[in-house]
């Protein structure tokens, strides 16, 4: 910056420069002080009954948003964000005890693989060869089988940048694991940035043709994880169509319009508005438990798939993804039987999930986007959970 010409006197010019420099120095010291927080810390999360140690990684951003993730299942155990008044709360369901997760606590917060959601009859074929999976949901297979990716201890590495914290989780899923063909190398990267976005990048390769469908199964309550019903939350889902299911939640193969059904969330509405509908789909799902086909401007473009808003707290969560679908599940099968962190009790419809994914049972549905991964190809997919607030009550 040039000195004002008024200061033609050398003495005044000197005073001006000293003033200017001290402002600059103060600003950069303040900036350093602002950066002076740990974007990632690591501590023990206890041990499993078999003696395996579980590590907890806390990712923090400049505005104080904090996400805690464990190496068991890459599980998000807490996610603290501010409400419209600046008050922080943990908006995701979870547990204090690692063994609860290991025993399969509704897959809360976990990375799901090798195949998220259901596969009909626990069977599928690739190139004429049939594969059989554990039938762990009635006759169907769900969420990767008995010991899915949610129960593995993942390898971890972490790093920080000027504007973000990054946790890299890797694992190898051996050939034949849970009945799936091919050794699959999986990487999941969680990045927390200063825009209050939790970015999840998934990638995978295989040495034999296989099927794969990865997601995160976090349960949310934007009023706080133990705050009760989510029926007041307003949801908008950017989907004109969905995949209707049979009574066992397996897609019929049809692709139907949401218009005129309780599944029409194209304009935001309260979850409670149509959840007791007598519509057959709502009866089959015991509420909302459906895969919505996201309106992508172009295939695989990162798109706003859904927005959730609680008029009570003013918290908003936007979900962006390049995946073709999102499973909107309203926690219909939660039953208060598990004691959560801070002794919270999670009863039916006290949390919801927005699981970005390929369509359920895709391996048996040639008309759905393919979930086959072949040697030499790499699966790459991104989902972003973004948090903001809106003070005034109103629809999205
Ligand atoms: C499914 C639900 C299931 C839940 C927990 C969701 O992805 O759609 O039907 O109850 O996961 O397994």
Does position 8 have pLDDT exceeding 90, yes or no? Answer: no
Based on the fold, state whether residues 26 and 102 are members of the same structural domain. no
pLDDT for 15 equals: 60
Does position 225 have pLDDT exceeding 60, yes or no? Answer: yes
Domain count, the chain: 2
CATH of the domain at 46: 2.70.98.10
Based on the fold, state whether residues 17 and 96 are members of the same structural domain. no
pLDDT for 155 equals: 98
pLDDT over 70 percentage in the chain: 90
Does position 17 have pLDDT exceeding 90, yes or no? Answer: no
Based on the fold, state whether residues 29 and 113 are members of the same structural domain. no
d(CA 189, CA 168): 4
Distance of alpha carbon 62 from its chain centroid, rounded?
21
The 10 Å Cβ neighbour count of residue 367 is: 10
Write the residue with the smallest CA distance to atom 7 of ligand 1.
117
pLDDT for 18 equals: 58
329 Cα to the center of ligand 1, angstroms:
7
By annotation, the residues acting in catalysis are 217, 355
Based on the fold, state whether residues 17 and 58 are members of the same structural domain. no
Residue 325: C-alpha distances to residues 254, 281, 306, 383 (Å): 14, 17, 11, 11
Which of 281, 287, 289, 325 best tests ligand 1's pocket when mutated (most atoms within 8 Å of CB)? 289
Segment 14-38 shows an average pLDDT of: 55
Asked if residue 136 belongs to a domain, the reply is yes
Residue with the bigger pLDDT between 231 and 25: it is 231
Based on the fold, state whether residues 177 and 292 are members of the same structural domain. yes
pLDDT for 395 equals: 43
Does position 248 have pLDDT exceeding 80, yes or no? Answer: yes
Segment 271-275 shows an average pLDDT of: 98
Based on the fold, state whether residues 186 and 232 are members of the same structural domain. yes
DSSP 92: B
Asked if residue 395 belongs to a domain, the reply is no
Whole-structure pTM value:
0.91
Does position 371 have pLDDT exceeding 50, yes or no? Answer: yes
pLDDT for 6 equals: 44
Based on the fold, state whether residues 267 and 372 are members of the same structural domain. yes
Any residues with Cβ below 6 Å from ligand 1, and which? Answer: 106-107, 117, 142-143, 249, 289, 327, 329, 333, 355
Ligand 1, residue 360: give the atom nearest the CA. Answer: 8
What is the enclosing helix (H) or strand (E) of 285?
helix 280-285
Does position 21 have pLDDT exceeding 80, yes or no? Answer: no
Segment 284-300 shows an average pLDDT of: 95
Segment 159-172 shows an average pLDDT of: 97
Segment 213-230 shows an average pLDDT of: 98
Does position 63 have pLDDT exceeding 50, yes or no? Answer: yes
Owning domain of residue 20: 10-35
Mean pLDDT taken over the chain: 92
The residues, any chain, with a CB within 8 Å of residue 87's CB and separated by 6 or more, are none
Q: Tens digits of per-residue pLDDT, 104-135? A: 888 999 999 999 999 999 999 999 999 999 99
pLDDT for 1 equals: 40
Q: Tens digits of per-residue pLDDT, 306-363? A: 999 999 999 999 999 999 999 999 999 999 998 899 999 999 999 999 999 999 999 9
Based on the fold, state whether residues 138 and 285 are members of the same structural domain. yes
Ligand 1, residue 106: give the atom nearest the CA. Answer: 5
Strands 53-60 and 197-206: unpaired
Residue with the bigger pLDDT between 9 and 190: it is 190
Among residues 153, 127, 151, the alpha carbon closest in space to that of 375 is found at: 127
Segment 191-212 shows an average pLDDT of: 98
> What's the pLDDT band for 36 if we cut at 50, 70, 90?
confident
Find tokens 């951003």 and name the residue.
Answer: 61
């Amino acid at each position: 910056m040039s000195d004002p010409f008024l200061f033609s006197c050398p003495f005044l010019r000197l005073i001006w420069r000293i003033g200017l420099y001290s402002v600059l120095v103060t600003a950069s010291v303040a900036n350093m002080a602002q950066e002076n927080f740990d974007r990632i810390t690591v501590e023990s999360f206890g041990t499993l009954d078999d003696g395996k140690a579980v590590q907890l990684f806390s990712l923090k951003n400049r505005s104080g948003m904090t996400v805690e993730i464990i190496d068991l299942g890459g599980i998000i155990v807490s996610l603290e964000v501010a409400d419209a008044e600046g008050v922080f709360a943990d908006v995701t369901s979870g547990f204090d005890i690692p063994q609860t997760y290991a025993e399969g606590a509704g897959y809360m917060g976990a990375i799901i693989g090798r195949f998220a959601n259901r596969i009909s009859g626990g069977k599928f074929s690739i190139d004429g060869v049939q594969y059989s999976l554990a039938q762990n949901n009635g006759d169907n297979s769900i969420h990767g089988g008995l010991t899915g990716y949610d129960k593995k201890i993942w390898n971890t590495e972490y790093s920080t940048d000027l504007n973000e914290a990054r946790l890299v989780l890797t694992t190898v899923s051996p050939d034949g694991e849970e009945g799936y063909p091919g050794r699959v190398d999986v990487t999941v990267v969680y990045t927390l940035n200063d825009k209050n976005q939790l970015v999840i990048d998934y990638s995978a390769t295989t040495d034999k043709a296989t099927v794969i469908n990865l997601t995160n199964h976090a349960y949310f309550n934007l009023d706080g994880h133990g705050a009760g019903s989510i029926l007041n939350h307003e949801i908008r889902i950017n989907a004109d169509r969905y995949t209707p299911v049979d009574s066992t939640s397996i897609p019929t193969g049809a692709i139907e319009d949401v218009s005129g059904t309780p599944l029409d969330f194209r304009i935001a509405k309260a979850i409670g508005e149509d959840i007791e509908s007598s519509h057959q789909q709502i009866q089959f799902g015991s509420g909302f438990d459906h895969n919505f086909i996201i309106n992508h401007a172009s295939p695989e473009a990162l798109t706003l798939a859904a927005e959730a808003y609680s008029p009570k707290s003013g918290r908003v969560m936007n979900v962006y993804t390049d995946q073709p679908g999102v499973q909107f599940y309203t926690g219909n099968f939660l039953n208060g039987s598990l004691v959560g962190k801070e002794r919270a009790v999670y009863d039916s419809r006290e949390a919801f999930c927005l699981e970005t994914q390929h369509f359920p049972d895709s391996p048996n549905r040639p008309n759905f986007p393919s979930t086959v991964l072949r040697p030499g190809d790499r699966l790459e997919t991104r989902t972003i959970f973004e948090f903001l607030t809106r003070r005034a009550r109103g629809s999205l």
